[in-house]
Structure 1
Amino acid sequence: MRATESETREQTINSRWLTTIAIFMIILGIIAIIFPFFATITSTLVFGWVFIFAGIAQIVYAFQSKGAGQVAWKLILGLLYLLAGIFVLTDPLQGALAFTLVLGVTIFVQGIIQVSLAFQLRRISPNWGWMLVSGIAGIILGIFIWSSFPFSAFWLIGTWVGINLFFDGVWMLTLHSE
C-alpha cells in the first residue's frame, strides 16, 4: 500500500505540529521547574476554574435529575465544587496549601493500599514486588510532603507539573520524530 502525496503532506504537517507542541511542552516544563512557585500558583488557579465549571455543570445536572433526593445530593455536590473553586480563586496561596495537603494524604493512603494489595497478590503474581515498591515509595513520599508542609506547598505542585510537562514533551518529540 502506497501513501498518496496528500497523505504524506498531511503526515508531515501533523508531524510539524506535534514537534512544535512537544517543544513547547518541554519549554513550559523547564520554566515550571525553574519557577516552581509561579507554576504552583498557576496550577492552583487552573484547578480553581475547573472546580467552578464542574460545580456549574453538576448544578445543571442536578436540576435535570428526577427525584428530590437525587437533586438535593447532586446540588450539594455542585455547590461544594463551586465554593471550592471560588475559595481557590480568591486565595490561591491557601488553595496551594490545601492542594498540597490533599496530595500528600492521597499519595500516603494510596501507598498503604498498594502495600496491602501487594501482599495479597504475592501468591498470585510473580511481579507483586513492583507494587510493593511503589506502595512503599508512596508512603515515604506522603510522609515527606507532610513533614515539609507547609513549605513544600510553594514548590511541590509546580515542580511536579514542570517535570510532567517536560517528560510529556520528550516522549511526544521522540515518538513522532520518525
Structure 2
Amino acid sequence: MNKIDDINIEIQHIQQQMQSYLQTHWRLFLAEGAFFIFLGICAIVIPQLFTVATVIFLGWLLLFGGIVHISRAFFVSNMPGFGWWLFMGFLQAIIGYLFITKPVAGAITLTMLLTIFFALEGVAKISLAFMMRPLANWGFILFSGITALVFALVIWMSWAESAHWLLGLLLGINMVFLGWSMVQISLHHKAE
C-alpha cells in the first residue's frame, strides 16, 4: 500500500465513525440544531441587543480572566516569565473593562474580529464538508461554510458603518444556517 491508499483508508474510517456517531446521537444534534435556530432568530429580530450583549459578556470574561492572571502572577512572582504573565493579565483586564464601559467601540473591534472568525469558520466548515462528502446531506455543511465566507466579505466591506447591529444580525443568520444544517443531518440519520 502506498501513502494515498493509507490516507483513503483513514478517511473512510473517519467517515464511518462520523456516520456511526450521528446515528447514535441524532437526537442530540436535532436538539442542538433547534437551539441554534431559536438563538439565531432572536439575534436577527433584535440584532443591536445581541451585539451589545456579546460585547459586554466578552468584556466580563476578559476582565475576570485578567484578574485571575494578575492574581496568579503575584502569587508565584518568582516564576519565570512573571512580567509577561502580569502584562497579559493587565491587558486582558483593561480590554475587558473597555468592552464593558464602551460597548459600541467594542462592537466595532469585535465586528472586525468576527470577520476573521467567519472567514476561518467558513474554511473549517468547507473542509469538514469535503471530509463528509460521501455521507448524505454533506452539502448542508458546505453551504454553511460558504455563507460564513460571504458574511466575512460583507462585514469587511461595511464594518465601520454598521458595527452596532451587523454583528448581531450576521451572528443570528449564521446560527440559523448552522442549526438548520444540524437538524437536516440529524433527521437523515434518524431514519437509518
The residue aligned with 2:183 is 173
1:95 maps to a residue whose letter is G
- What does residue 74 of structure 1 align with? 85
Is the aligned partner of 1:152 residue 2:165? Answer: no
Q: CA RMSD in A?
A: 3.5
Alpha-carbon shift at residue 60 of structure 1 (Å): 3.8
Q: Distance in 2 between matches of 1:27 and 1:93?
A: 25
Give the corresponding residue for 2:111: 100
Letter in 2 for 1:152: S
Counterparts of 1:174 and 1:66 in 2: how far apart (Å)?
53
The residue identity in structure 2 corresponding to 1:92 is P
Give the match for residue 46 of structure 2: 35
Give 2:68's match in structure 1, choosing from 36, 57, 61.
57
Q: Counterpart of 1:155 in 2: which secondary structure?
A: helix
CA–CA distance in structure 2, aligned partners of residues 174 and 61 of structure 1: 46
Structure 1 window deviating more from structure 2 (159-168 vs 146-155): it is 146-155
Give the conservation status (yes or no) of the 8 Å contact 1:101–1:149. Answer: yes
Separation of aligned partners in 2, 1:25 and 1:153: 22
Would you say the 8 A contact 1:29–1:166 is kept in 2?
A: yes
Change (3 A) 1:28 1:146: closer
Unmatched runs of 5 consecutive residues or more in structure 1: 1-10, 112-133
Q: Secondary structure at the match of 1:42?
A: helix
Structure 2: runs of 5 or more not aligned? 1-23, 121-145
Distance 1:79 1:29, change over 3 A: same
CA deviation digits over 1:17-55, x for unaligned, max 9?
A: 553342122011022123221221111112112212321
For 2:184, give the aligned amino acid: T
Does residue 86 in structure 1 map to residue 97 in structure 2? yes
Report the CA distance between 1:62 and its aligned residue.
2.6
- State how far apart, in whole Å, the 2-side matches of 1:44 and 1:29 are: 17
Q: Percent identity?
A: 32
Aligned to 1:22: 33
Distance 1:166 1:154, change over 3 A: same
Describe the superposition over 1:91-135 as per-residue Cα deviations: whole angstroms up to 9, x where unpaired.
21121123224556x58xx89xxxxxxxxxxxxxxxxxxxxxx9x
Q: String of CA shifts for 1:130-172, please: whole Å, max 9, x gaps.
A: xxxx9xx79x93xx64663432211221122112321232233
Give me the whole-angstrom Cα distance separating, in 2, the residues matched to 1:28 and 1:68: 44
In structure 1, C-alpha distance between the alignment counterparts of 2:109 and 2:155, rounded to whole Å = 12
Length, aligned pairs only: 137
